[in-house]
Structure 1
Amino acid sequence: MNGDDTSLPHTDRDSPSGPPQGGLDGFLVSLGVVVEPELRELALTHRSWAYEHGGAPHNERLEFLGDSILGQAVTVKLYRDYPELTEGDLAKRRAALVSTLALAEVARALDMGAVLRLGRGEELTGGREKDSILADSVEAIIGAVYLSTGAAEAERFVLALMDTLLVDPDRFTDALDPKTALQQEAARRGLPHPPYDTVGSGPDHDRRYTARVTVDGVTGRGTGTSKKNAELAAARDAVTRLRPRGR
């Protein structure tokens, strides 16, 4: 491992940008994984924290490693489980499963946002809820698991993390672009592209958005820290509500 990765960021337990790691330990133990403490903390250290602490190491190298391991584990799983699918269909399913939206959902289920080390700027702008930061932290943890336990255990860990997504067939078509999926559903019913009603509330540094979209009398609702994320969540909700009626 590169020397930059073995040195730890300085612990900042009393700072709101350096929360305790207990929650992360809990879910790692529940999945039967032991991660070296220095790698665990490195995986949770965002570059904004590192910048504010004298250029300390951060999690981007682990994220790079974890992204590769995640992609390989999901690719092999799909290849083995769906021998009838074409290369194109397999690629679409993989893209949906490893998308930022899907990984952020995994991170939220594990409450990873609460244990991240963020700079004060990210704290003030809702960094603990940002899809990109959450998704990157999942990849970094995967990288830390790989370095701590080896390839076989890292693959098992990835599949355990992704289990609920792997068994959800709608994830393969909707997670990548739920707005497109909703447009296709509307077109199938002979309806025009659905408009979104999106409003923001709260101060600039902690703004939240709520979106609504209605197709064929069914309304989907979603919230997010950006207009885009709120509309994606509303579209996914609408598709979920529509399909049992139409199929």
Structure 2
Amino acid sequence: MGGVSAKLGKRLGHEFKDLGLLSQALTHPSADGANYQRFEFLGDRVLGLVIADWLVRDFPDADEGELAIRFNALVRKEACAEVAERLDLGAHITMGAGEEKAGGRQKAAILADACEAVIAALYLDGGIAPARKLIEKEWAHLLEKSGKARQDAKTALQEWAQARGHKVPSYELIERTGPDHAPEFTVEVRAGNAKPLRAKGNSKRQAEQAAAQAMLEELGVWPA
């Protein structure tokens, strides 16, 4: 297994002038010759640019915080691996015998890397247009799902912080009150340079979610 063809290029929506680019994009470091590592680096940046531009155009009323949450959901490795699986890129990756025996074709990390590398190959062969075409086609259903990150306040707050280069938000249990059958927990959250906030819940997890939501509302990322 492994190897590329003009047929794969057509499946990607592009007729390659240089199939060598696609071949390198689908060559794992365990194989001989040039591999996809440099392409992965470039593809990650091309993906980020296309997704950012897409979000700004499609969500004109979204603030920076919501855009950042959606962006992180769309460019993360899990999203790239999902797209790679749908395109069956694993079947076309050239890799060493040891990696293949270890199940490399099904590894999410390898699939994600290959997906980013393929985006780079499209960009290098035909410019931004074929890369954008693939991304807007294969990420369309993920774009719809990206807003669901808002349902999990802790995840949303962490992504907000990471998008701005802040440390991961911290949660501190301040107190536990009430009887064992009906306890109440108070948690304090710290995120970025924002003032710490506290919230209560019937479990520690619930209190942390409530504190994260309160912080997101204070930051203006979520509507109150």
Q: Quickly name the TM-score band, shorter chain normalised.
A: 0.5 to 0.7
The residue matched to 1:89 in structure 2 has which SS? Answer: helix
Alpha-carbon contact 2:3-2:23 (below 8 Å) kept: no
Matches within 5 A, 1:39-58: 39-49=21-31, 53=32, 56-58=33-35
Cα shift readout 1:52-87 (whole Å, capped 9, x = no counterpart): x3xx21111111111111000000000111122221
CA contact (8 A) 1:45 1:116 kept: yes
1:83-232 maps to which residues of 2 (within 5 A)?
83-170=60-147, 172-173=149-150
> Shift of the alpha carbon at 1:159?
1.3
Equivalent pairs counted in the alignment come to: 163
Q: 1:87 to 1:42 in 2, by over 3 A?
A: same
Q: Which residue of 2 aligns with 1:215?
A: none
1:19 aligns with 2:6: no
Instruction: Tell me the TM-score normalised to structure 1 length.
Output: 0.58
Over 3 Å counting, the alpha-carbon distance change for 1:171 and 1:156 in structure 2 is: farther
After TM superposition, give the deviation of residue 166 of structure 1 in Å: 1.4
Give, in whole Å, the separation in 2 of the partners of 1:88 and 1:125. 40
What amino acid maps onto 1:40 in structure 2? L
Q: How far apart, CA to CA, are the structure 1 residues paired with 2:155 and 2:109? A: 16
Asked if 1:72 is matched to 2:49, the reply is yes
Give the TM-score normalised by the residue count of structure 2: 0.63
CA distance in 1, matches of 2:147, 2:201: 19
The whole-number CA distance in structure 1 between the counterparts of 2:89 and 2:201 is 40
Consecutive unaligned residues in structure 1, runs of 5 or more: 1-17, 181-187, 195-247
2:118 aligned partner, one-letter code:
I
Evaluate the alpha carbon distance shift between residue 171 and residue 121 of structure 1 in structure 2; reply closer, same or farther with a 3 A threshold. farther
Question: Post-superposition shift, 1:151?
Answer: 1.8
In structure 1, C-alpha distance between the alignment counterparts of 2:143 and 2:20, rounded to whole Å? 30
What SS does structure 2 have at the residue aligned with 1:47? coil
Amino acid in structure 1 at the alignment position of 2:19:
P
CA distance in 2, matches of 1:113, 1:177: 29
Q: Secondary structure in 1 aligned to 2:145?
A: coil
Instruction: Quote the RMSD (CA, aligned, Å).
Output: 3.0
Identity percentage over the alignment? 37
1: distance between equivalents of 2:4 and 2:151? 33
Q: Offset of 1:21 from its aligned partner?
A: 2.9
Counterpart secondary structure, 1:104:
helix
SS in 2 for 1:63: helix
Task: Tell me the distance in 2 between the aligned counterparts of 1:127 and 1:164.
Answer: 26
Q: What residue number does 1:34 align with?
A: 15
Which residue of 2 is the match for residue 204 of structure 1? none
Distance 1:63 1:83, change over 3 A: same
Q: 1:171 to 1:159 in 2, by over 3 A?
A: farther
Mapped partners of 1:132, 1:95: distance in 2: 17
